[in-house]
Amino acid sequence: MRTRVAGLLMGLALGIGPAGAGVPDAVGTVKELSLAGAKAVASAAASEAKKNSAGGAIAIVDSGGHLLYLERLDGTFPAAAAVALEKARTAAVFRRDTRAFEDAIRNGRVALTAVGVMMPLQGGVPIVIDGAVVGAIGVSGALSAQQDEDIAKAGARTLE
């Protein structure tokens, strides 16, 4: 009993619900990414960006790709916010890093460019808890595509 209560409290502190992440339990409860959890992910990502003197827009979405939180660091170009949101949305609904799509297109799978609901640019990473995707983070506007991804991964690791 004590372990179950401790796990529940830890989950609530991380901004997730009491059941398996994104998977209904016996009574239909689903673990979701809360606003507090989204802000914790964004804060970790912003810290990583600032540590490396990078700007960037940071978007956090739920498992369905719906915006929970957006932060645009000082000095970041305005369009980065829209790109970050689309990267996050893509990572959430396809349940994979957006780098996979960019790599596939670079390696000749150009038909993927016809998928209108996908942003095939590096920097979108699913947020996974207990093996299930509960949301995603997208970063755009850092100093490079690799840095977008590194910042996103630093944020996503916050709730592992």
Q: Quick: pLDDT tens for 44-103.
A: 999 999 999 999 999 999 999 999 999 999 999 999 999 999 999 999 999 999 999 999
CATH architecture of 33-159: 2-Layer Sandwich (3.30)
**Mean predicted confidence (pLDDT) in 5-32:** 47
**Mean predicted confidence (pLDDT) in 31-56:** 94
Extended beta strands in 27-73, E state: 57-62, 67-72
Which token pair is 73? 């660091």
Q: Quick: pLDDT tens for 110-148.
A: 999 999 999 999 999 999 998 889 999 999 999 999 999
Q: Which amino acid type is present at position 39?
A: K
Which token pair is 68? 């929970």
Per-domain residue ranges for the chain? 33-159
Extended beta strands in 7-158, E state: 57-62, 67-72, 124-129, 132-140
- State how far the Cα of 130 lies from the Cα of 113, in Å rounded to an integer: 32
> What is the pLDDT at residue 19?
35
